[in-house]
Structure 1
Amino acid sequence: MNLILFAVPFFLLLIALELIADWRSGKRTYRLSDTINSLSAGVLSRAVGILTKFATVGIYLLSLDYLAVWQLSADSLWVWLLAFVAYDFCYYWNHRLGHEMNVLWAAHSVHHQSEDYNLGTALRQTSTGWLFSWLFYLPMAVLGIPGEVFITVAALNLLYQFWVHTQHIGKLGWYEWFFVTPSNHRVHHAQNPLYIDRNYGGVFIIWDRLFGTFHEEQDSEPVIFGVTKPLASWNPLWANAQFYVQLWHDAVRAERWQDKLTIWFRRTGWRPADVAARYPMATPDLSQFRKFDIALSRSQQVYAACQFAVTVLGTVGLMAAGEQLGLGAALLLSAWVAFTLYATGVWLEDRPHARLFEGLRLLASTATVLWLLASGLLSGAAFWLGLSAAYVALSVWGMGHSKRLPDQAASA
């Protein structure tokens, strides 16, 4: 059972409820472009996950066959409890190293790039974390925790973390001592020097208290969300590539071959001395902090929101059919998702070529539907062709009625 897929409607419902709470409290924890960017990263992550889960789950199952010291039974409650706690312990070290090593931060930084903090931020996930994260869970295979138990507790751990991404819940008394809460997780998403790189637990905050990485949220130090090197983009593909590109540039520019190789595995933020001297990076002044934003007209925002909703529906369908798709179909559909999200990011950034990319995206969407029909993955050609034609027509109409703000149109 795909627990994440079944949870999607509840995620969307809770986001809607948080928006109502925003309106009633007068808080403004959501901005349309930032929210779409966060959700785009999540959608891209799930689409890529269709391709990568065979590798990650396969590695775990293979390790279980060759490394397990015991063969534990999924029928025993204590095995499930052990797995739940063990997974969170492994997650703590995966998460902590994700902040403390350059190449791991390159993957994990995606989750921290949003300068807002809300339930939408919870769904902002990396598409490259799978490259190394499987290493941290091998001890569970050594213990003999069955594959179905591992997959289930992993999903439960991720589901728990959703609700703590909110500014509408304060401190929770004794619960703060044992579990991850909205308060202590807000600290984790801070870029304030006082808070940075703290509170790594997924479900249990006990690990942070035991290993010296806990910090309490303080009223005297309001959290400033985001990363110290801002993304400054609504492009989910660039969000995943940004820090890798920075590391690559530094590696190429370094004079010593040792630095070229080791920069990837050094502590986060480390740069070769010669590169840092020739290409210095400004230290952020949080007293002058301003959130990244690009003003859009109401019609541009409505168009982006509608197109993104269609992408979400398509991705949910991809997730639902994931296990029945062949590699070719999964690759094609994932490519469609990636290009669609890229085009949406271009639109949100109000680029001069945004309408060109929208046209290409509509052509790609039509071609994808035709391919699915021709390959037999979709039935009911008349229905899907009619729906596609209506979608393209409405999209073209929407583009024609999406007016740029006067100052933007004049400067284009």
Structure 2
Amino acid sequence: MKLILYAVPFFFVLIAIELLADRWRGMRTYRLADTISSLSTGVLSTTTGLLTKGVGLVTYALALDHLALIRLPEDSGWVWLFAFVLYDFCYYWHHRLGHERNVLWAAHSVHHQSEDYNLSTALRQTSTGFIFGWVFYLPMAVLGVPLLVFVTVATLNLLYQFWVHTRHVPKLGWFEWCFVSPSNHRAHHAQNALYMDRNYGGVFIFWDRLFGTFQEEDDAEPVIFGVTTPLSSWNPLWANWQFYAQLLADARRTERWWDKVRIWFMPTGWRPADVAGKHPVNKPDLSQFKKFEVALPLPQQVYIALQFAVYVGLGSYLLNLGEHLAPQALLLGWGYMALGLFVLGAGLENRPWALRLEGVRLALNVPLVWLAPWAGLWPASAWGWVGLFSYSALSVMGLYACRARVTPLAEC
């Protein structure tokens, strides 16, 4: 987790460099709403991870204690190399089944919902992957990989995947045969039939070549990014819930009890016959594909961007101190984070009720002054009053300025 924290500043520096490359090359790989949406799911994911990381760590530690066939030494370079390759092998199957089974796709689909492709897309991560993700890495515990080694190679694998989410790096020759590259990962993020469900490796692409899931990026078939059933939302909470909601609705509608159970574990896209006929899911024609877009006045864009920067700061604070915070402090921090990101998502979508909800969010800063020290989120201090009051006052002024320039009020 600390490695991720140290990497965050570099992530934002590289995103800034990519934005400059966009300008220099006359490309447009970033849109404000899409970028904030992707980063919001990332912030929500890391914050949720503070509450749920114990699921994977505890189950791994228990498996290591009770199921390990051998115990590998923690100080051996060969063990680290073995673990790094083995983790990517496990990741390949985790990732592949994440595309092939409904309940796993419900979690993983978050990462694919963006219709743009840039470095911010790499940070677009699920908040529910912890539910089943730990299962795929138990073989490492059975083979005796130490917990510290497992956690470290998992983090390194995740960090590697950041740089491949770009459209600015072309094919890399021999590198493409062994390693995941921006080119073959662009193909992975496509919704074109040619590229669908291909290139699952995290670091090594030879798993895909070995198991028949490799597809080279084809210049004659430009990649169309996104999912075949568009999210059509900028809200990070809905992004995480959307496919679960669809599965729940289908399970409720079907008359067969067996279908109510098996829908979760069937191949992705499978639906009960009695439901599919009555409630068809319309998928857009890719030949007429248009990205999801909501027109926003400039003052509203600036206001939301500045508010989001506050939440990036809060997320970094929680990530830095998460190991030392009490559960109630983490719950309070997560709740405040989730509410704020939901409200910003509503603002990006120009929801009629977004302004009222933003007022509620700002009003909740008052009880937060008492709740945060009580929960241990931060110590009691007059600076807490001053800081939250100043932030709230500036936010209200920004909201008023936004309202004054945009009519009707719902558009703000």
Return the TM-score normalized by structure 1. 0.97
Q: Residue type of the partner of 1:56?
A: G
- Report the alpha carbon displacement of residue 341 of structure 1 after superposing the two structures with TM: 0.4
Q: Alpha-carbon deviations, 1:367-408, whole Å to 9, x = none?
A: 334322345543361222111111001100000111488686
Aligned: 1:115 with 2:115 = yes
- Which letter does structure 2 place at the counterpart of 1:254? T
- Aligned CA distance change for structure 1 residues 270 and 209 (closer, same or farther; 3 Å): same
| Partner of residue 262, structure 1 | 262
Which amino acid is the alignment partner of residue 337 of structure 1? M
Given that 2:102 and 2:266 are in contact with CA atoms closer than 8 Å, whether structure 1 keeps it comes out as: yes
- Contact 2:38-2:121 at 8 Å conserved across structures: yes
The 1-side partners of 2:86 and 2:2 are apart by: 21
SS in 2 for 1:321: helix
> Judging changes above 3 Å, is the alpha-carbon distance between structure 1 residues 69 and 411 closer, same or farther for their aligned structure 2 residues?
closer
| Pair 1:315-2:315 in alignment | yes
**Corresponding position of 1:242:** 242
Query: CA-to-partner distance for each residue in 1:292-327, whole Å, 9 max, x for gaps?
Result: 010101110000000000001001111111111111
Cα RMSD over matched residues? 1.6
Alpha-carbon distance in structure 1 between the residues aligned to 2:280 and 2:241: 20
1:46 equivalent in structure 2:
46
- Alignment check: 8 A CA contact 2:64 2:144 kept: yes
Structure 2 counterpart of 1:61, which letter? Answer: A
- Structure 1's 407 and 394: CA in aligned 2 closer, same or farther, altered over 3 A? closer
For 1:282, give the aligned amino acid: N
In structure 1, C-alpha distance between the alignment counterparts of 2:369 and 2:207, rounded to whole Å:
48
Q: CA 1:331–1:175 in 2, change beyond 3 Å: closer, same or farther? A: same
Contact 2:55 2:134 in 1 (8 A): no
What letter matches 1:163 in structure 2? W
Given that 1:259 and 1:272 are in contact with CA atoms closer than 8 Å, whether structure 2 keeps it comes out as yes
Q: How many Å apart are 1:283 and its aligned residue?
A: 3.3
Unmatched 5+ stretches in structure 2: none
Q: Structure 2 length as normaliser, TM-score?
A: 0.97
Secondary structure (helix, strand or coil) at the match of 1:265 reads coil
2:49, 2:127 within 8 Å by CA — same for their partners in 1?
yes
**% identity of equivalent residues:** 62
Matching residue of 2:20: 20
The CA deviation at 1:364 is 2.5
- Asked if the contact 1:106–1:243 (Cα under 8 Å) also holds between the matched residues in 2, the reply is yes
Which residue of structure 2 lines up, in the alignment, with residue 393 of structure 1? Answer: 393
- Mark the runs of 5 or more structure 1 residues left unpaired by the alignment: none
Amino acid at match of 1:193: A
Q: CA deviation at 1:334?
A: 0.6
**Cα distance in 1 for residues equivalent to 2:178 and 2:371:** 51
> What is the aligned length?
412
Deviation at 1:365, TM superposition (A): 3.5
Q: Note if contact 1:333-1:368 (Cα within 8 Å) is conserved in structure 2.
A: no
The answer to whether the 8 A contact 2:88-2:201 is kept is yes
8 Å CA contact 1:98–1:104 kept in 2: the answer is yes
Q: Does residue 1:5 correspond to 2:8, yes or no?
A: no
CA distance in 2, matches of 1:380, 1:408: 41
For the Cα contact (< 8 Å) 1:100–1:267, is it kept in 2?
yes
Counterpart position of 1:128: 128
Secondary structure of residue in 1 paired with 2:121? helix
Partner of 1:365: 365
Sort the Cα spacing of 1:411 and 1:167 in 2 relative to 1 into closer, same or farther, 3 A.
closer
What is the identity, as a one-letter code, of the residue corresponding to 1:59?
T
Shift of 1:356: 1.2
Give deviations 1:185-222, integer Å, cap 9, x for gaps: 00000000111110000000000000000000011000
The offset of 1:174, in angstroms, is 0.3
